[in-house]
């Protein structure tokens, strides 16, 4: 067949993981990615340690590359009342600019072919896929969907969640602030949203928040929203007052959906946010993207190497594995987001958690998995 064994649509963390893992078995693997590396992405940039051993196996060491070790967590309500805890597993602070680029370089080293093109459609006929861009069409035995939380392809494939309006906006900017502790990830609430602060490999502090769009649209722009709404939380007010923005302007994404999605659709195996997005307050979407990439690569390897393991077996087994590892975490993420977004519940939570660090650690554990090993 003129084409590739495996085509991955989307070269974020999930897609790059699949590509690196599969290229170790010498399959002919290609990624289609619409943006060149490196580039910034809206993300809290706190990666759970659960994924570190698997990344090391793939040849990527986040700490050796300058990622900072994060051990402590704090959360505050809109008035700034806060509780602190150590993190059960902990994590690493690293920018997406650096993280995605590291995986890209590793994939290149392992001869993954990159096409910097936007995919417009994917068809599956007579058990062969055709991937279409504006300029060309290429065939593959297997196609992996790793195109993130919202893509032109979701519309083209007519996926359920894309029909519904979604009212969340994500905003991110890096700041210079020498005072912010290196080992801390802080989550601060404000009316209609919440924001995370943590350091990255450059020493910059990443401030990334999620806000309800109906709340945001009452204001002129991000600057206005920051000063009138975000800054009502005294910790965020102090942070913004004493920090210097390092981007010309913050970056943002709209229409973020937390609706459930299917891990297999039109015979395409979906991974990362394309299969399901966990609420950002859990700080775990990146680890889940990488872990789901690992599960996809194992299912695909079996399909490619065992004659009796059919496509339907691969699709069934991957769907089951995905649900086993992630379904409950998404559900708990959704409960915790509801608590965070309701002032009275959050106040009750903070008063209760203030008396018991154990409860907070137990809640964090519910949205995190076990260490992911090769």
Ligand X SMILES: Cc1cc2nc3c(=O)[nH]c(=O)nc-3n(C[C@H](O)[C@H](O)[C@H](O)COP(=O)(O)OP(=O)(O)OC[C@H]3O[C@@H](n4cnc5c(N)ncnc54)[C@H](O)[C@@H]3O)c2cc1C
Q: How far apart are CA 33 and CA 115, in angstroms?
A: 6
Kindly tell me which of 124 and 313 has the beta carbon lying closer to ligand X: 124
Kindly tell me which of 87 and 289 has the beta carbon lying closer to ligand X: 289
Query: Smallest gap, in angstroms, from Cβ of residue 310 to ligand X?
Result: 27
Q: Which residues bind ligand X (CB under 6 A)?
A: 9-15, 32-35, 41-47, 118-119, 146-148, 151-153, 170, 196, 208, 210, 256, 272-274, 277, 280, 283-287, 289
Kindly tell me which of 59 and 354 has the beta carbon lying closer to ligand X: 59
Pairing of strands 184-190, 193-199: antiparallel
Question: With contact defined as beta carbons under 8 Å apart, do 15 and 8 qualify?
Answer: yes
Query: Smallest gap, in angstroms, from Cβ of residue 91 to ligand X?
Result: 8
Of the chain, the end-to-end C-alpha distance in Å amounts to: 31
Kindly tell me which of 161 and 351 has the beta carbon lying closer to ligand X: 161
User: Is 6 strand, coil or helix?
Assistant: strand
Query: Smallest gap, in angstroms, from Cβ of residue 93 to ligand X?
Result: 9
Q: How far apart are CA 232 and CA 215, in angstroms?
A: 14
Kindly tell me which of 27 and 46 has the beta carbon lying closer to ligand X: 46
Q: How far apart are CA 117 and CA 134, in angstroms?
A: 8
By CB atoms closer than 10 A (0-12, 13-18, 19+), residue 276 is buried
For residue 181, give Cα distances in angstroms to 53, 74, 178, 196, 211.
25, 12, 8, 13, 25
Kindly tell me which of 219 and 309 has the beta carbon lying closer to ligand X: 219
Q: How far apart are CA 150 and CA 157, in angstroms?
A: 12
Query: Smallest gap, in angstroms, from Cβ of residue 317 to ligand X?
Result: 21
Task: Give the long-range contacts of residues 228-232, CB within 8 A, separation 24 or more.
Answer: 229/190, 229/191, 229/192, 229/193, 230/190, 230/193, 230/195, 232/78, 232/190, 232/191
Kindly tell me which of 296 and 353 has the beta carbon lying closer to ligand X: 296
User: Is 208 strand, coil or helix?
Assistant: strand
């Amino acid at each position: 067949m003129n084409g590739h064994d495996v085509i991955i649509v989307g070269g974020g963390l999930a897609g790059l993981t699949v590509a690196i893992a599969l290229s170790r078995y010498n399959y002919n693997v290609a990624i289609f990615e619409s943006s060149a590396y490196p580039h910034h992405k809206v993300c809290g940039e706190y990666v759970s340690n659960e994924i570190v051993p698997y990344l090391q196996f793939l040849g990527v060491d986040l700490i050796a590359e300058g990622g900072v070790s994060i051990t402590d967590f704090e959360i505050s309500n809109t008035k700034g009342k806060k509780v602190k805890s150590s993190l059960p597993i902990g994590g690493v602070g690293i920018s997406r600019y650096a993280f995605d680029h590291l995986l890209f370089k590793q994939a290149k080293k392992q001869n993954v072919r990159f096409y910097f093109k936007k995919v417009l459609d994917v068809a599956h006929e007579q058990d062969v896929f055709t991937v279409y861009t504006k300029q060309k069409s290429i065939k593959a035995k297997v196609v992996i969907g790793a195109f993130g939380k919202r893509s032109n392809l979701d519309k083209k494939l007519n996926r359920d969640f894309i029909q519904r309006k979604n009212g969340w906006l994500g905003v991110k900017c890096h700041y210079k602030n020498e005072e912010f502790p290196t080992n801390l990830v802080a989550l601060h609430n404000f009316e209609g949203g919440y924001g995370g602060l943590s350091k990255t490999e450059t020493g910059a502090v990443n401030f990334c928040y999620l806000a309800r769009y109906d709340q945001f649209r009452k204001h002129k722009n991000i600057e206005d929203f920051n000063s009138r709404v975000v800054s009502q939380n005294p910790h965020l007010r102090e942070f913004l007052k004493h920090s210097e923005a390092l981007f010309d302007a913050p970056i943002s994404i709209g229409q973020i959906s937390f609706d459930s999605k299917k891990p297999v659709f039109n015979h395409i195996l979906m991974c990362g946010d394309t299969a399901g997005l966990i609420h950002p307050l859990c700080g775990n979407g990146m680890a889940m993207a990488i872990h789901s990439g690992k599960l996809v690569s194992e299912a695909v390897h079996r399909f490619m190497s065992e004659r009796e393991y059919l496509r339907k077996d691969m699709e069934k087994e991957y769907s089951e594995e995905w649900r086993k590892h992630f379904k409950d975490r998404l559900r708990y993420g959704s409960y915790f987001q509801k608590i965070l977004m309701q002032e009275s519940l959050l106040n009750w939570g903070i008063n209760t958690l203030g008396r018991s660090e154990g409860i907070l650690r137990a809640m964090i554990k519910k949205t995190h998995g076990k260490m992911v090993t090769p």
